């Protein structure tokens, strides 16, 4: 790379951490959910976020994507500090990130094709035919078929809804994808297939992934690193193999309890 091209590159293209949270304080009234929480997602990393029920995974996700204001600390996404975000920066983040919410969050009155095309309609000025061609491509990428294009969400199975939601999350070719419990509600075979799809897409498209999950199998199948939320903060971020050796009581129970052992053996 020449000096000229280096200086032409936007600063955010050079950052290593696509997500950088420091000293996060999250509260509801006098209840503290996070205190002094730090977490990073490195470029190209597929990171799982685990923690007991009520540990604050969803609140963390909502804070990072801007749905909840933090009570303290700093939250940077794609190099932009959320506290000082301009309208252009917010739009840039929206275009460069994709989110798969737990239930797929599809528009019930739109078909699969229209749902997947909706981010293109909102954020681009492409001709309609091009938008639909791109949406068809994304639908094929997640393993849905042309005969599914014209179905409404109510006509889809849980797994198909997740796939359609994933296709919509990928519509704008994001570099950063948030997944909220992607395998929740799927049977084990469907969950394993969805895990495989996520890992394949992450590798093929070079995605960085922030994934909340309760699913130990997903951690083994997909994640480069796993961040563990306990005691109001991230107590460890490591590979699953490293976490299996952790002394933290919650992590021990999670990985070495009865359900943990089954996933460890299967890996």
Nearer residue to ligand ATP within complex by CB, 28 or 107: 28
Q: Which of 21, 40, 57, 138 binds ligand ATP (CB under 6 A)?
A: 57
Dig out the tokens for 172 from the structure. 């704008």
Binding of residue 70 to ligand ATP (CB under 6 A): no
* Contacting residue, 18, 21, 39, 56, with ligand ATP by CB under 6 A: 56
Backbone angles phi, psi at 60, to 5 degrees: -65, -45
Question: Site for ligand ATP (CB under 6 A): which residue of 2, 5, 7, 53?
Answer: 53
Q: Rounded to an integer, what distance in angstroms lies between the CA atom of residue 21 and that of residue 2? A: 32
Report the relative pairing of strands 208-212 and 31-42 from DSSP bridges.
unpaired
Stretch that binds ligand ATP, among 51-59, 80-88, 156-164, 192-200 (CB under 6 A): 51-59
**How many of the chain's residues bind ligand ATP (CB under 6 A)?**
10
Choose one: 2-10, 54-62, 77-85, 231-239; the region binding ligand ATP (CB under 6 A): 54-62
Q: Going residue by residue from 71 to 110, which x/- string records binding to ligand ATP, judged by CB under 6 A? A: ----------------------------------------
- If binding is defined by CB under 6 A, does position 33 make contact with ligand ATP? yes
Contact status, residue 144 vs residue 64, Cβ threshold 8 Å: no
| List 10, 13, 14, 28, residue binding ligand ATP (CB under 6 A) | 28
Residue in 19, 46, 48, 51 binding ligand ATP, rule: CB under 6 A:
51
Q: H or E stretch including 201?
A: helix 188-205
The answer to whether 156 and 139 have CB atoms below 8 angstroms apart is no
Give the Cα separation of 203 and 230 in Å (integer).
Answer: 29
CB of 17 to ligand ATP, least distance (A): 22
CA distance 116 to 166: 9
For every residue of 19-55, which 3-state class applies, written as one string?
Answer: EEEEEEEEEECCEEEEEEEEEEEECCCEEEEEECCCC
Return residues touching ligand ATP (CB under 6 A).
Answer: 28, 33, 51, 53-59
């Amino acid at each position: 790379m020449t000096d000229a091209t280096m200086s032409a590159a936007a600063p955010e293209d050079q950052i290593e951490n696509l997500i950088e949270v420091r000293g996060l304080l999250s509260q509801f009234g006098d209840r503290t959910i996070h205190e002094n929480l730090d977490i990073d997602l490195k470029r190209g990393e597929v990171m799982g976020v685990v923690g007991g029920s009520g540990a604050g995974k969803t609140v963390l996700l909502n804070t990072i994507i801007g749905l909840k204001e933090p009570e303290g600390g700093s939250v940077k996404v794609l190099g932009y500090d959320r506290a000082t975000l301009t309208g252009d920066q917010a739009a840039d983040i929206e275009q460069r990130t994709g989110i798969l919410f737990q239930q797929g969050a599809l528009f019930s009155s739109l078909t699969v094709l229209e749902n997947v095309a909706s981010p293109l309609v909102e954020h681009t000025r492409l001709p309609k035919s091009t938008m639909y061609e791109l949406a068809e491509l994304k639908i094929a990428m997640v393993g849905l078929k042309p005969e599914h294009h014209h179905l409404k969400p109510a006509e889809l199975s849980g797994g198909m809804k997740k796939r359609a939601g994933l296709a919509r999350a990928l519509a704008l070719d994001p570099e950063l994808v948030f997944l909220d419990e992607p395998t929740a509600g799927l049977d084990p075979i469907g969950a394993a297939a969805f895990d495989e799809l996520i890992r394949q897409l992450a590798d093929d498209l070079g995605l960085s992934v922030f994934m909340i999950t309760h699913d130990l199998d997903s951690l083994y199948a997909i994640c480069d690193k796993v961040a563990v939320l306990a005691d109001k903060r991230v107590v460890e971020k490591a590979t699953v193999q490293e976490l299996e050796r952790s002394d933290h009581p919650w992590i021990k129970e999670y990985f070495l309890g009865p359900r943990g052992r089954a996933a460890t053996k299967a890996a």
